[in-house]
Amino acid sequence: MFSKILIANRGEIACRVAATCRRLGIRTVAVYSDADADARHVAFCDEAVHIGGAAARDSYLRADHIIEMAKETGAQAIHPGYGFLSENEAFAEACAAAGLVFIGPPASAIHAMGSKSAAKQLMEKASVPLVPGYHGEHQDAGLLRRESDRIGYPVLLKASAGGGGKGMRVVESGDAFEAALASVKREASASFGDDKVLVEKYLTRPRHIEIQVFADTHGNCVYLFERDCSVQRRHQKVLEEAPAPGMTAERRRAMGEAAVAAAKAVGYVGAGTVEFIANQDGSFYFMEMNTRLQVEHPVTEMITGQDLVEWQLRVAAGEPLPLKQDQLRIDGHALEARIYAENPDKQFLPSTGTLRFLRTPPAVQFMRGGDAHGPAGVRIDAGVREGDTISPYYDPMIAKLIVWGKDRDEALARMRQALAAYHVVGLSTNVAFLQRLVKSEAFRTADLDTGLIERNEATLFPQPAPVGMEIIALAVAALLDRETRERHIDAADQHSPWTHAGAWRLNGGATRTLRFAYGSHTLDVTLTANARGSTLIYADQAAPFKAACQADDIRVDLGTRRAHGQVHVERDDFHVFNAGRHAVLGWLDPLAHAGETEGEGGKLTAPMPGKVIAVMVEPGSTVTRGTPLLVMEAMKMEHTISAPADGVVSEILFGVGEQVTEGAQLLAFATGES
């Protein structure tokens, strides 16, 4: 076994790999960019080396420099994690040439599966079922259009060298083909340096089911059962689970054996995932093979009790697989929710900022599923801490929240509870969206397919619920507690009247009106107090009011009702977390000056930091509502800025290739009304 390895990655996967290495007594070397100098993975590893600038191409993609650092620090092997260089055959070859072990498959296997087109040709020879499509090398736009017409719409255009949902478009008709092809090629070229595409028949209600495979250098190959990854947005996974609901033993065996056949066809070694698209009738087709550890590997670990990173290390060190196929078992059910810094209400646009407040459910960062399922069956794999920044340079994942239960119902209950206890302030997250998702009828009853989110938009994207008495009461309690602490009470003088300042008045009680802003609404609250106690009046309701505060944790009694919650206060914003809900109430201090009026007409601004990659109009252009005006790229995804109404583009403020910050004015636009 190795005594020291270098982890050529960042974030939660770097921490995840380091956790197993620590348990096995293997020293670890972290690498970090300018943006990650204070990152969690840097502190978590035994050593750390700086490898370059903030952008991935200047740091985590510098294969030669990473190899140099591995040799300099005395590492014997390199674990690539996932993303970055994990599926780069040239990097795998360079590691071998430098006398370093690449903890992953042979370069030949990466090459064979790196091109989706070539991989599907190999799978056809290995008798692995394939979706009807065109996987050839010819990329003439006219040929691709004719092949799409032959296959029949809708079709899926997919970057041949792609992954992670990038470079994919569903084309509903021939009229939309040309624009979709151009967009896919641009995104593929930017993300993978290769604009080749393939065309496949788009199945209308498919499930995305993948099989975890493992092979060693002794000729052994097994499958560690399946994961259902059907719940997706933008072709990227949101919720994963294992085992797949409704999977029969016969179908599991058939898919597992097909996955093993796929791995053997390319002489595979190490951890890999064979991804299938499955019809509701049980038929399944090969999509691709990911020649690395997957983001969602924890759910497999939780149901099998196996540490897949340990398996990777042992196989890379030349050992045989720890178990044979007939020794593997499924125990219980596991779910994984990817917690992202993103705004689901704005088409899941990534969000950047500082994690100013972070509270999570009781959990462990990593455990072996069969040995212990952690506090209340909860596991958290995270690469960030409170105070860390989510930057625009890398994937906006905050953490992976994984739960285990003896069956799917218990796992769902634990996931609901865990998400309700996951509190973040400082940037937008998808936590509330995930809560609605796991509570939805479709997910609860396992009515799964890759279009689940789109089919349930009304349920998953509801209008904001009104603020109830409990949330208002928690905010009021936090405000009163802050005011008490700001009096600068002299603790040495316990008889000071300021120490006991309260509702008592010489001639009776006190009445105070508090006003909060909630979105575009103004909420008025009246608090009356006298020697007998306090009463809170809100929205035509009145209730006795009593509060107990201990830092951010607050309890309020409203007569016979009691509410608990956390309130994080930033200036005059009160972030109230109660019963799984996060509401932001802005206190309107009557002594403060009125703020400036927000917003100006005639502007189109950047929804997030990014780069302008295309401008479709010129100054003076007359356009109609919905006309594409400009395309931004951020987080390796394209975002089109369209005309909000009929009007005229009066000025373009950024050109192709220029970086823009969130909220920056991109162009000036005049409507007919203005």
Active site residues: 292
| Ramachandran area for residue 88 (φ above 0: left; ψ -120 to 50: alpha; else beta) | beta
Within 8 A by CB and 6+ apart from 24, the residues are 1, 310, 313
Residue 336 β-bridge partners: 240, 402
- Long-range pairs, 165-171, Cβ under 8 A, ≥24: 165/232, 165/234, 165/235, 165/236, 165/237, 166/191, 166/192, 166/636, 166/637, 167/191, 167/192, 167/197, 168/235, 170/202, 171/202
Instruction: Report the alpha-carbon distance of residue 492 to residue 347 in Å, rounded.
Output: 56
Residue type at 490 in one-letter notation: D
Instruction: Report the alpha-carbon distance of residue 21 to residue 45 in Å, rounded.
Output: 9
Instruction: Report the alpha-carbon distance of residue 207 to residue 203 in Å, rounded.
Output: 9
Could you give the residue ranges of the DSSP H alpha helices within 266-381? 297-304, 308-316
Instruction: Report the alpha-carbon distance of residue 620 to residue 626 in Å, rounded.
Output: 17
Q: Taking Cα atoms as reference points, which of 472, 480, 556 lies closest to residue 518?
A: 472
3-state class (DSSP) for residue 477: helix
User: Are the CB atoms for 364 and 373 separated by under 8 Å?
Assistant: no
Q: How many helices (H) and strands (E) does the chain have?
A: 17, 39
Tokens of 652: 């373009």
* Residue 604 backbone dihedrals phi, psi, to 5 degrees: -120, 125
